[in-house]
Amino acid sequence: MENYSAESIKILKGLEPVRMRPGMYIGSTGKRGLHHLVYEVVDNSVDEALAGYCDWIKVILHEDGSVEVEDNGRGIPVEVHPEVGKSALEVVMTTLHAGGKFSKDSYKISGGLHGVGVSVVNALSEWLEVRVYRDGKVYRQRYERGTPVTPVEVIGETNKRGTVVRFKPDPLIFSDTELEPDILEHRLRETAFLIPGLRIEFEDRINGVKKSFKYEGGIKEYVKHLNQGKKAIHDVIFIRDTAYVETKYGRREEVLVEIAFQYTDSYSEEIHSFANTVKTVDGGTHVTAFKAMLTRLMNEYGRKTGVLKEKEAFQGEDVREGLTAVISVYVRNPEFEGQTKSKLGNEEVYDAVSKVMRERLKEYLDINQDVAKAILGKVISAMRAREAARRAKEMIRRKNILENTTLPGKLADCSSEDLERTELFIVEGDSAGGSAKQARDREFQAVLPIRGKILNVEKSSLDKLLKNEQISDIIVAVGTGIGEDFQREKLRYGKIIIMTDADVDGAHIRTLLLTLFYRYMKPLIEEGRVYIALPPLYRVRVGKEEYYLYSEAELLEFKEKYAGKRMEIQRYKGLGEMNPEQLWETTMNPSTRKIVRVTIEDAEEADRLFEILMGSDVSSRREFIERHALKVRELDI
């Protein structure tokens, strides 16, 4: 870094445009934009850390809703800027400096919404106070809505170095000025993972919580963290190298590539990517190159070892099943594309990542043959499962086409064909199924009992379960077929209602069914046709009156209301304990029952949880089921 000098700042304009059109600078004036203010300030300190001058950042969420960010970097320069006759500190805080901005010589973040500068934060704050510890002195200046209300003053002496920025987001700009500690914590932890050795402290004074993040292992530790609770099949692979590549402007540039990844025995894929420590949620050239090269190298390896037959080839999805990866690149002029500026566009990064992957990963796998074998085994079984799933789908399709009049024997169908009235109850257990068949209104309600223990097949993928008879009965009863063969017009019922016991097994089955609908019959969820029945948890008798209660909370409330009265409480352990009349009244009669419509978010959650259920980690599975079982209880219509 050269010395700070007057020329390195190009003064463009004041801050009025920022208050006029905040969205242009921070994306939005909602929650997202609000949090962006904090990131903007933290990123300045992070840049100082990347340049090697700072190893500690502290963020405090104050009780008054303001945020304070302190670092032990060099401190923002305070010298008087000769051209304007103002302190550099004031210039930095009160002018928009685009282009040749106040930047480090290293990899400066310059794309999109990132690195718009701390002056933008100043402009959008009700007030902001900056302190600089530099040359033994403490400097201070205060602003209101971007305008200085004090000069840059020396307010004391110190032996510290660094910068402290404290600001309060302006309620005139933001619809909601409440910062979410969880969001901030998540982001700060992520940043700490990206810069090994950097300590980031977070203190939430509203809730009295303090956290400290420091990861010497960098993104390697990040992958370990992401895979907690999953069963890894090898140690985290870490590769890091620089590559010299040509940009589209014909310049040769150095790109630093860091990749950490690990396979688990799960079926999901999780890739987090960053460019210059900025998260690229929509991926980009670095992610595309990583995926392409991983597939290519695995195919080459599979060929070489003879496990791939002549006509076989791994597809991307085979190679990424159970993969958790973190990709972090540093590039001189990052281009962030897309609506939210979260996709990396630099073509030269594609070349750099391909090159580093080819050279370093090959080398790694040559040295660590056992790891290579473990991964290859996983990829092969993913490929076989994909082929098996295709055959299973084919089979169901054929079954649908050839015998589409043969409905499952266990289905008690309804007589109406009016889609807007008809309902299919998928009921757990034969005894509850029997009661439901007796209880239903056969004109518009159909009942399909399924056995409770469909899920005993441990560590099986959903694809395999498609072959399961219970599942194929459901698919045939619903009528639409699945996946690419889904035909909305074949739908046989207007509502599909999942009715399971209020216990762990019930939650288990519900998750499986939601995952099935989510992955293979998604339009049904999007149209809001899938529901969960909420059977009561208690029946209470007070005198001659009977009441049904649907939650612990309702029971407590009830007890308070009837305190002193004699009551008889029956707890239902399962649907099977209700006689048909009770089942009708509490769970099936449209005018008295409770049902919850399943949203896409619910189904996504179920899909995620399904992975945990199917995974091998018994304790996290148990924990999840219990949590999830409670959660559905808390929902209401």
Give me the least distance between CB of 25 and ligand 0RA, in Å please: 17
Site for ligand 0RA in 548-587 (CB under 6 A): none
Binding flag, residue 128, ligand 0RA (CB under 6 A): no
Binding flag, residue 74, ligand 0RA (CB under 6 A): yes
Give me the least distance between CB of 389 and ligand 0RA, in Å please: 52
Beta strands per DSSP E along 527-627: 530-533, 538-542, 545-549, 567-571, 595-597
In one-letter notation, the amino acid at residue 6 is: A
Q: What Cα–Cα distance (Å) separates residue 173 from each residue in 42, 169, 196?
A: 21, 8, 36
Q: Which residues have CB under 8 Å from 628's CB, separation 6+?
A: 507, 511, 605, 609
Work out whether strand 153-157 and strand 162-169 pair parallel, antiparallel, or are unpaired.
unpaired
Which range in 41-49, 287-295, 326-334, 574-582 contacts ligand 0RA by CB under 6 A? 41-49
The residue among 340, 329, 471 whose CA lies nearest residue 408 is 471
Of the two residues 58 and 74, which places its CB atom closer to ligand 0RA in the complex? 74
Q: What is d(CA 477, CA 587) in angstroms, rounded to the nearest whole number?
A: 21
- Structural element, H or E, at residue 202: strand 199-204
Give me the least distance between CB of 462 and ligand 0RA, in Å please: 49
Binding flag, residue 345, ligand 0RA (CB under 6 A): no
**Is 222 in contact with 261 (CB distance < 8 Å)?**
no
Give me the least distance between CB of 39 and ligand 0RA, in Å please: 13
Binding flag, residue 76, ligand 0RA (CB under 6 A): yes
Exactly one of 70, 185, 501, 602 is catalytic; which is it? 501
Binding flag, residue 102, ligand 0RA (CB under 6 A): yes
The residue among 71, 70, 73 whose CA lies nearest residue 53 is 73
Which range in 42-50, 182-190, 435-443, 479-487 contacts ligand 0RA by CB under 6 A? 42-50
**Is 585 in contact with 592 (CB distance < 8 Å)?**
yes
In one-letter notation, the amino acid at residue 80 is: V
Q: What is d(CA 167, CA 524) in angstroms, rounded to the nearest whole number?
A: 47
Q: Which residue has the tokens 């999780």?
A: 270
Work out whether strand 199-204 and strand 56-61 pair parallel, antiparallel, or are unpaired.
parallel
Binding flag, residue 351, ligand 0RA (CB under 6 A): no
Q: Count helices and strands (H / E) in the chain.
A: 21, 26
DSSP type of residue 236: P
Q: Which residues have CB under 8 Å from 521's CB, separation 6+?
A: 478, 480, 482, 486
Binding flag, residue 45, ligand 0RA (CB under 6 A): yes
Active-site residue, 428 included: yes
Of the two residues 68 and 71, which places its CB atom closer to ligand 0RA in the complex? 71
- Cα dihedral 543, 544, 550, 552 in deg (nearest 10): 10
Q: What is d(CA 590, CA 494) in angstroms, rounded to the nearest whole number?
A: 14
Of the two residues 130 and 475, which places its CB atom closer to ligand 0RA in the complex? 130
Among 22, 33, 77, 115, binds ligand 0RA (CB under 6 A): 77
Query: Residues touching ligand 0RA: how many (CB under 6 A)?
Result: 13
3-state helix, strand, coil in the chain (%, to 5): 40, 25, 35
Which range in 60-68, 71-79, 272-280, 359-367 contacts ligand 0RA by CB under 6 A? 71-79
Of the two residues 3 and 369, which places its CB atom closer to ligand 0RA in the complex? 3
Exactly one of 503, 568, 623, 626 is catalytic; which is it? 503
Q: What is d(CA 549, CA 81) in angstroms, rounded to the nearest whole number?
A: 72
DSSP type of residue 284: B
Of the two residues 71 and 321, which places its CB atom closer to ligand 0RA in the complex? 71
Q: Which residues pair with 498 in a beta bridge?
A: 426, 532
Both tokens of residue 493?
A: 């019922």
**Is 139 in contact with 153 (CB distance < 8 Å)?**
yes
Binding flag, residue 191, ligand 0RA (CB under 6 A): no
Residue 330, phi-psi category: left (phi > 0), alpha (psi -120 to 50), beta (remainder) = beta
Give me the least distance between CB of 277 and ligand 0RA, in Å please: 15
Of the two residues 49 and 424, which places its CB atom closer to ligand 0RA in the complex? 49
Give me the least distance between CB of 90 and ligand 0RA, in Å please: 14
**Is 517 in contact with 462 (CB distance < 8 Å)?**
no
Exactly one of 505, 585, 605, 617 is catalytic; which is it? 505
In one-letter notation, the amino acid at residue 182 is: D
Binding flag, residue 71, ligand 0RA (CB under 6 A): yes
Of the two residues 120 and 498, which places its CB atom closer to ligand 0RA in the complex? 120
In one-letter notation, the amino acid at residue 459 is: K
Which range in 75-83, 349-357, 391-399, 400-408 contacts ligand 0RA by CB under 6 A? 75-83
Among 163, 266, 276, 285, binds ligand 0RA (CB under 6 A): 163
Give me the least distance between CB of 70 and ligand 0RA, in Å please: 9
Of the two residues 163 and 416, which places its CB atom closer to ligand 0RA in the complex? 163
**Is 447 in contact with 580 (CB distance < 8 Å)?**
no
Binding flag, residue 166, ligand 0RA (CB under 6 A): no
For 323, what's the count of Cα atoms within 13 Å in the CB-facing half-sphere? Answer: 24
Give me the least distance between CB of 163 and ligand 0RA, in Å please: 4
Binding flag, residue 3, ligand 0RA (CB under 6 A): yes
Exactly one of 170, 204, 348, 428 is catalytic; which is it? 428
Binding flag, residue 48, ligand 0RA (CB under 6 A): yes
Among 9, 26, 49, 73, binds ligand 0RA (CB under 6 A): 73
Which range in 66-74, 293-301, 335-343, 497-505 contacts ligand 0RA by CB under 6 A? 66-74
Among 4, 127, 486, 550, binds ligand 0RA (CB under 6 A): 4
Binding site for ligand 0RA (CB under 6 A): 3-4, 44-45, 48, 71, 73-77, 102, 163
Active-site annotation, residues: 428, 501, 503, 505
